[in-house]
Amino acid sequence: MNMRTLNLPLLLDREEIYPFLNLGLTPGPLPANVDKLIDTYLRSITQLAKPQGLIRVCSIRSITTDRVVLDDASLVIAGPRAVAHFTDCEKITLLAATLGPAIDEHLGGLQQTAGAADAFIFNGIASAAAEHTIEILDAIAVRDIRRSAYYPTARFSPGYGDWPLAHQRQFIDSVSGGKIGLTVTSHHLLQPVKSVTAVIGWSRVLLERSYERPQGKPCQGTLTCRDCPLKEKCLS
Amino acid sequence: MADFITTLKKQVLLGDGAMGTMLVEQGLPPGENPELWMLAHPLAVQQVHRAYLEAGAQVIQTNTLSGTELKLKEYGAADLVEEVNITAARLAREVVQDRAFVAGIIGPTGQFPAPLGDLPWTELVEVFGRQARALEAGGVDFIFLETFSDLGEIRAALVAARKYTGLPVACSLTYTKGRTLTGTSPQIAAIVLEAMGAACIGANCSTGAAELLAVMKEYRQFTRLPLLVEPNAGMPVLINGATVFKETPQDMARFTEPFRNLGVNLIGACCGSTPAHIKAMGEALSAREPAPLPEQEGPPATRLASRSRAVTLGSKELPVLIGERINPSARKAVAEALRQQNWDFIIQEGALQLDAGALLLDLNTGLAGGDETRLLPEGVRRLQMSLDCPLVLDCTNPTALEKGLQEFQGKALINSVNGDKKSLNSILPLAKKYGAAVLGLTLNESGIPDKAEERLDIAREILAAAEHYGLPREDMIIDCLVLTAATSPELALETVRAITLVKEHLGVNTVLGLSNVSHGLPQRSWLNAAFLSLALGAGLDAAITNPLDHRIRETMIAGALLTGRDSGARNYLAQAGSLGSPANPPVNEDVDPADPGPALQQAILNGQQETVIPLVQKLLEKSDVLSVINEGIIPALEMIGGHFARGEAYLPQLILAGDAAKKAFTYLKDNFPRQQTAQGGTIVIGTVKGDIHDIGKNIVSALLENHGFRVIDLGKSVPAEAFLEAARREKAGVVALSALMTTTMVEMPQVIKLLKQELPGVKVIVGGAVVTAEYAQEIGADGYGADAVEAVKIVRGFSLAPGL
């Protein structure tokens, strides 16, 4: 199985965090207490997080209008809108990233002992860290794809477009998510919470790798806005 | 032919361009490995070399970017490393003869060495060594490591090329937004790769010439080595169904002079470029003389680095605190942690010291009865994964030290050598090989001399030995050593004098293991701080000490200002501000005693949690509980809510104000239990079944409470029946439902249906990241809160019976 496990660095810039705290992209001088909480929790997340990732490359066995079936993996990319992203592809890279369980535990503790602002800021920074981690995995995968003379598609995740989130369990099984402590709840949510899964297609045809990141919004950068479940609120 | 590096220092050389896209034009099929294809199509590869040579290229690169055994293995050809690389080198040499230099290209393996990946670093060295040997055997002029994106991997390739060949090595990384994939900046790359013996450094590929101009500017600030650049012809785009690299030969030619002016002496191109690009770039060069290097100001600084953070020691820099607490000889808890392999404890020790102001961490794993050859590399691995600072490897066992240096993906400081020949001869070569700076103790076989002049002599001998091994002077830091004042108080000033002499006569940076001075005495902090002050006055550049001692920290900050190292007192003022004034300023003493209401409102608006209770107390001297709520707390919340709604306040400010208001409410509830503080009615709130996200729900809950509602928070993943049961039991007027995911928001209509059926008078509001007003309407909710402020507004619009 073509699979890699990586321990990833976490070098989060403040600018990456601001959108996740509803502060826009460049908020200018922040109130001292907000600034201090960001500093405090950025430091603690950097210390608590153990960012890890899994990368697996699978060949495509078959593509129909509503299913992409992979070789040697139970994961299926389902839904006509989701499949449309991969029609020119020959392979699929599966990515899974997590910050590890200590972040969830600490957040749980903060919610019991600290104010809502502390929990909100910790949670926002952790979300930014998870996004940062999947971005690094994305860049590694894209580098490999380009060097193999293919073009990468945009990143796409279960739950986006019409790809049911119920496929999350197959996803985690297909990348042996247990290796980095990843599991799925009965409602198809990842545990630890600060985790992300995504696929990238290998295309012989150059594709627009479009991330329509709405300015200053906490965009997950996973796909075009059209397929995003947050689009109505985000773009309003 | 002249030596490559000698030529490069004297003239600007033109490199070649892309190989892959040119081979595709020559017939390389998609998906084929270019190196293996070359074995069957040597003339096609030579045709590319010839085209670039004719375009004016003076450096021709071998077709071996994926020529390591790890890359060839992907095509079942791991045993062809020698054949591929020797052939590629010979093909290039045959074409260029002595009309150009041949660069033996080595590219990344696609694997990451530990700690990022699971490939042992030492194994990677052997992988690169095999390719480098083959390229040398094929006759290349230098080894060119290019397109690397991980500092650890290029370190392995550099060590391999230097270990297994006698050729100079050029190192080139790729950057996006000024950093490599794994977070290394040009500054860090310059510091680390120069120290490890790279002959030339730079950047290639990336997104294009414009971005690399900024990268080269940063390189030039931190190294005097010749620089190289080979940008892409932009990023590929799809135009009329064809892949096009948008930067034309003329576009790229515009950058050649700016690159030359920065001191870039090898200028070529990467993906998407053609011989036409190289020709245009050559023609755009107004001269081939290298730009003069900028004047060096003052004594050179000592630069250390982790994978992503640099620290500079020098007379013009702020003195540096080196955390001493990870030392099993000095601390039993550390010894126990090392014995138990409790690395979390060690990491926590490191984190505490960094938080307290240390910029470097001393790592000593010399545990009595422990195996330092195992503990030191493991400690390095663990610390560098969690903490972002350069390490000081406190170890005199050469075997353990070498393993530690291999693992550290940066430029470390070795602690230490001394004047003893055995120490110098065993440690200094390791520093040279792995690119580390070295701390030299002014002692020798006879011990520590009493007199400062004799310590200066030993320092001189250490520097001579370092020079012999090719270590630059700025990478040597001298520790003039202090003995405990318990036995030799008279020698403390001799150490101070030795620092002065070393700075005056040798001009190198100095460090001191500070805490020795107080060994065996009470109130060690007094002595440590006083001695630090004296040493700073003598020119000390760094101290190995306990950063958790606030006296030490304060002395460092103040000492830096008084010794002229803190220009404009910037650091002093910043530190004094952060240490002296918390984020929430204290209660304003000018609060009007006759009317503390405005001050309370202001405190809530500013989220000043520490000040609200004293203000509430002041207000209660004049008013009753309800007045405090209605005239102090609620108006402040309305004000911040209004600011937020108009975009004049950020969400964190709104929440902080909510937290401050909650403090006031809690105080009132706790101290006046008989008074009614909840006036707005009862609300049951929760995240629907299956959803484990509750940050947003908690914010709404807090804000409702602050507005006087009695809130029964059921938490997350709440079944419909639990909402019903709570609403019935608590006689709630409103039930608020939250969901973050599309998969869980479908629970909302189930809850609404049940509530409407059983408790038709209860209002239901919904909210959450994916919920929209339309959805709320569709499922029969009575209200939809786009955010917490709106949720409060909606609930206030319902007429509810007062809360219990």
- Choice between B788 and B90, residue whose per-residue pLDDT is larger: B90
- Does residue A81 belong to the interface with chain B, where contact is any CB pair within 8 Å? no
Are A120 and B699 a contacting pair at CB < 8 A? yes
Residue of B nearest to A124 (CA): B695
Report the alpha-carbon angle A121-A126-A129, nearest 5. 130
Q: Chain A window 158-187: which residues touch B at a Cβ cutoff of 8 Å? A: 159, 165-166, 185-187
pLDDT for residue B677: 55
pLDDT for residue B9: 92
User: Running DSSP on this structure, what letter comes out for residue B631?
Assistant: I
B206 to chain A, minimum CA–CA distance in Å? 11
Task: Answer yes or no: are the C-beta atoms of B30 and A204 closer than 8 Å.
Answer: yes
Residues B233 and B378 in one domain: no
Q: How confident is the model at residue B582 (pLDDT cuts 50, 70, 90)?
A: very low
**Per-residue model confidence as pLDDT tens digits over B506-533:** 999 999 999 999 988 999 999 999 999 9
Residues B42 and B126 in one domain: yes
pLDDT at B154 over 60: yes
If you average pLDDT over every residue of chain A, what do you get?
85
- Which residues lie across from B542 on neighbouring strands? B320, B511
- Which residue from B457, B449, B454 is spatially nearest to B488, judged by alpha carbons? B449
AA letter at B241: G
Distance set, CA B391 to CA B311, B326, B424, B513, B550 (Å): 10, 11, 20, 15, 22
Domain span at residue B662 reads 597-671
Q: Could you tell me the two tokens for A18?
A: 């601001």
pLDDT at B169 over 70: yes
Residues B360 and B213 in one domain: no
- Does residue A29 belong to the interface with chain B, where contact is any CB pair within 8 Å? no
Helix residue spans in B361-434 (DSSP H) = 372-386, 398-407, 421-434
Number of structural domains (chain B) is: 4
Q: How confident is the model at residue B673 (pLDDT cuts 50, 70, 90)?
A: low
Per-10-residue mean pLDDT of chain A, 236 residues long, equals 83 86 78 87 90 94 93 90 89 96 92 85 94 91 85 87 89 95 91 94 78 52 58 56
Mean pLDDT of B219-245: 83
Residue of B nearest to A228 (CA): B770
- Does residue B294 belong to the interface with chain A, where contact is any CB pair within 8 Å? no
Residues B575 and B659 in one domain: no
pLDDT for residue B241: 61
Q: Which one of B316-330, B638-652, B741-755 scores highest in mean pLDDT?
A: B316-330
Q: How confident is the model at residue B585 (pLDDT cuts 50, 70, 90)?
A: very low
- Which residue from B207, B16, B192 is spatially nearest to B103, judged by alpha carbons? B16
pLDDT for residue B588: 47
Chain A residues within an 8 Å CB radius of B698: 111, 116, 119-120
Residue B174 Cα to chain centre, angstroms: 17
In a domain, B433, yes or no: yes
Q: How confident is the model at residue B160 (pLDDT cuts 50, 70, 90)?
A: very high
Rounded CA gap, B4 and B691, in Å?
A: 64
Could you write out the DSSP letters of every residue in B143-182? EEEEEE--HHHHHHHHHHHHHH-SS-EEEEE--BTTB-TT
- Does residue B356 belong to the interface with chain A, where contact is any CB pair within 8 Å? no
pLDDT for residue B181: 86
pLDDT for residue B773: 85
- Which residues lie across from B694 on neighbouring strands? none
pLDDT for residue A72: 85
Residues B445 and B474 in one domain: yes
- Residues whose CB is less than 8 angstroms from the CB of residue B145 and which lie 6 or more positions away in sequence, other chains included: B106, B107, B154, B157, B158, B161, B169, B170, B171, B172
**Per-residue model confidence as pLDDT tens digits over B39-49:** 999 999 999 99
pLDDT for residue A99: 96
Q: How confident is the model at residue B476 (pLDDT cuts 50, 70, 90)?
A: very high
Q: How many CB atoms lie within 10 A of CB A172?
A: 25
pLDDT for residue A227: 60
Residues B572 and B605 in one domain: no
Size of interface A-B (CB pairs under 8 A): 157
Residues B641 and B716 in one domain: no
pLDDT for residue B118: 80
Are A115 and B181 a contacting pair at CB < 8 A? no
Tell me the ipTM for this assembly.
0.77
Which residue is it, tokens 């689009």?
A231
User: Helix, strand or coil for residue B601?
Assistant: helix
Residues B654 and B701 in one domain: no
**Per-residue model confidence as pLDDT tens digits over B791-801:** 888 888 886 65
Domain boundary (B619, B645, B671) is at B671
Are B743 and A11 a contacting pair at CB < 8 A? no
Are A116 and B702 a contacting pair at CB < 8 A? yes
Residues B634 and B686 in one domain: no
Residue B623 belongs to a domain with what CATH number? 1.10.1240.10
**Per-residue model confidence as pLDDT tens digits over A98-149:** 999 999 999 988 888 887 889 999 999 999 999 999 999 998 998 888 878 7
Residues B168 and B259 in one domain: yes
pLDDT for residue B74: 86
Mean pLDDT of B263-279: 94
Task: Answer yes or no: are the C-beta atoms of B551 and B515 closer than 8 Å.
Answer: no
User: Helix, strand or coil for residue A9?
Assistant: coil
User: Helix, strand or coil for residue B479?
Assistant: strand
Domain boundary (B522, B545, B580) is at B580
Mean pLDDT of B633-638: 82
Mean pLDDT of B369-393: 93
Which of A91, A120, A153, A228 to mutate to probe the B interface, most B CBs <10 Å? Answer: A120
- Does residue A69 belong to the interface with chain B, where contact is any CB pair within 8 Å? no
B63 to chain A, minimum CA–CA distance in Å? 14
In a domain, B298, yes or no: no
A229 to chain B, minimum CA–CA distance in Å? 6
Are A151 and B236 a contacting pair at CB < 8 A? yes
- Choice between A116 and B766, residue whose per-residue pLDDT is larger: B766
pLDDT at B788 over 90: no
Residue B699 belongs to a domain with what CATH number? 3.40.50.280
Q: Chain A window 92-111: which residues touch B at a Cβ cutoff of 8 Å? A: 111
Provide the CATH number for the domain formed by A3-234 in this structure: 3.40.109.40
In a domain, B294, yes or no: no
Residues B576 and B657 in one domain: no
If you average pLDDT over every residue of chain B, what do you get?
89
Residue B71 Cα to chain centre, angstroms: 29
- Which residue from A163, A5, A200, A189 is spatially nearest to A88, judged by alpha carbons? A200
B652 to chain A, minimum CA–CA distance in Å? 6
pLDDT for residue B584: 38
Helix H or strand E encompassing B476 = strand B476-479
- Which residues lie across from B243 on neighbouring strands? B238
Q: How confident is the model at residue B610 (pLDDT cuts 50, 70, 90)?
A: confident
Residues above pLDDT 90, as percent of chain B: 61
